[in-house]
Amino acid sequence: MSSDPAPTPTDAELARADAHSARNYHPLPVVLETASGAWARGVDGIDYLDMLAGYSALNFGHRHPRLVGAVERQLGRLTLTSRAFQHSVFADFCEAVSGLCGKDAVLPMNTGAEAVETALKLARRWGYDVKGVEPDRAEIITFDGNFHGRTIAIVGFSTDPDAHDGFGPYPPGFRTVPYGDIAAVAAAVTANTVAILLEPIQGEAGVLVPPDGFLAAVRALCDEHGILMLADEIQSGLGRTGETFACDHEQVVPDVYILGKALGGGILPVSVVAADWSVMGVIGPGQHGSTFGGNPLACVVGTEVVRMLESGEFQRRSRELGEYMHSLLAALPVAAVAQVRGRGLWAGVELAAGQPSARIICERLLARRVLAKDAHEGTIRLAPPLVIERGEIAWAVEQLADSLREER
Ligand SMILES: *Cc1c(COP(=O)(O)O)cnc(C)c1O
């Protein structure tokens, strides 16, 4: 290939982007041009099955007609007011999303990281105004292996050296404990603890499912000590695990839901924090906001996402097809796989010691027309759009099995 004087369209595009784009990502060598449902086509003219779905931002697949339709209609009407003025699709969105969460109210932002920051601010403010913590003493408990985004505060409590190192000084007030270890959580609680921030399943850490009963135990601990449970369902929520929220698997209701990714239908960044007035009420005018948060396009897409989840069809697909996918993954070559984790249409396939890196397996998958991404060195993350068909899942897992069998 490298001796070929004429670069392929893919190579040419990659080189052009590399010349002028910061190197904060190391994308797989593919350049996508169009997409529909679970499939995306590259500038190479090849159709790829998308088994990543934008890290769960594309739960409903690429360009779902209901979502594209909602945005197209709104594009011809009104696109931005800022929150200085109310617009006519704002109430629908707030009502729909808070209803989905069973909460009184939402605070709309754009990206996931912004929503996490919002939840942290909300929890601190609640700690001072309601719980009565001394000024600037609030503590929030977080977990090893967490991923909540990329802001200074958030990477400050990341335990991933790539994400964390070299960006300090970091805001204080966070205590990090081992994920899934309820005794460690309990030991970290002080009179100043205002919140516990967790992913009900840790996505970026490699789709780590906590021990059974952990979420319920965190809930009980929060109730006992007057602590807010903040569930970051940005990746795990909105159908991904076979339920609307991953917390539903333990019938746990957090005080605050943090949503993003799929809430924007794969079209726009749309995120929210959802909570009851007893918590949300602590934020008043001027104390938090976002120019684009809750904009009309975001609102129509988010509202449509909620409508699509109302029938339970997507959650059921994720549950049933997820069981099927996990049954196929359980039959992967045993020598190559250390563990398969996950729930619903979400899996982390951890490779056995001595295997090629997950990155190399993902490159082999790409050559076999399957898009997947490593989550940390040793784990391949599979999170296909919930519109994927049975046969497509079978084919993708077959490609994975063949990729694992390939000679080095
Ligand atoms: C992706 C993700 C975020 C950050 O979302 P961005 O939109 O990339 O800022 C936060 N938390 C979790 C669990 C995520 O998966």
Q: Got the DSSP string for 196-238?
A: EEE-SSBTTTTSBPPPTTHHHHHHHHHHHHT-EEEEE-TTTTT
Q: Which tokens in the block code for residue 26?
A: 């190391």
Please report the pLDDT score of residue 4 as a whole number: 62
User: Which one-letter amino acid corresponds to residue 170?
Assistant: Y
**Distance separating alpha carbons of residues 156 and 151, to the nearest angstrom:** 8
Are residue 115 and residue 262 in the same domain, yes or no? yes
- Single out the residue in 283, 309, 335 at which a domain terminates: 309
Q: How far is the CA of 44 from the centre of ligand 1 (A)?
A: 30
Are residue 31 and residue 81 in the same domain, yes or no? no
User: Looking at the domain assignment, is residue 135 inside a domain?
Assistant: yes
Please report the pLDDT score of residue 3 as a whole number: 61
Q: Is 6 left (phi over 0), alpha (psi -120 to 50) or beta?
A: beta
Are residue 141 and residue 40 in the same domain, yes or no? no
User: Looking at the domain assignment, is residue 32 inside a domain?
Assistant: yes
Q: How far is the CA of 117 from the centre of ligand 1 (A)?
A: 11
- Single out the residue in 309, 339, 367 at which a domain terminates: 309
H or E, element range at 90: helix 90-101
CB 143 within 8 A of CB 198: yes
- Single out the residue in 258, 277, 309 at which a domain terminates: 309
Are residue 328 and residue 392 in the same domain, yes or no? yes
Are residue 163 and residue 287 in the same domain, yes or no? yes
Specify the residue for token string 């917390």: 247
- This prediction's pTM: 0.97
Ligand 1 neighbourhood includes 200 CB (under 6 angstroms)? no
Name the DSSP class of 62. Answer: B
Please report the pLDDT score of residue 376 as a whole number: 79
Specify the residue for token string 């996990």: 326
Domain of residue 31, residue span: 10-63+313-405
**Catalytic residue numbers?**
147, 232, 261
Please report the pLDDT score of residue 377 as a whole number: 78
Residue 261's Cβ-side half-sphere holds a number of Cα atoms within 13 Å equal to 27
Count of domains observed in the chain: 2
Please report the pLDDT score of residue 407 as a whole number: 77
Are residue 102 and residue 178 in the same domain, yes or no? yes
Are residue 224 and residue 163 in the same domain, yes or no? yes
Q: Are strands 228-232 and 256-259 parallel, antiparallel or unpaired?
A: parallel
Ligand 1 neighbourhood includes 237 CB (under 6 angstroms)? no
Are residue 217 and residue 352 in the same domain, yes or no? no
Are residue 96 and residue 39 in the same domain, yes or no? no
The enclosing domain of 191 has a CATH number of: 3.40.640.10
Are residue 224 and residue 77 in the same domain, yes or no? yes
Q: How far is the CA of 57 from the centre of ligand 1 (A)?
A: 10
- Which segments in the chain show pLDDT lower than 70? 1-4, 408
Identify which of 55, 148, 241, 267 to mutate to test ligand 1's pocket (most ligand atoms within 8 A of the CB): 148
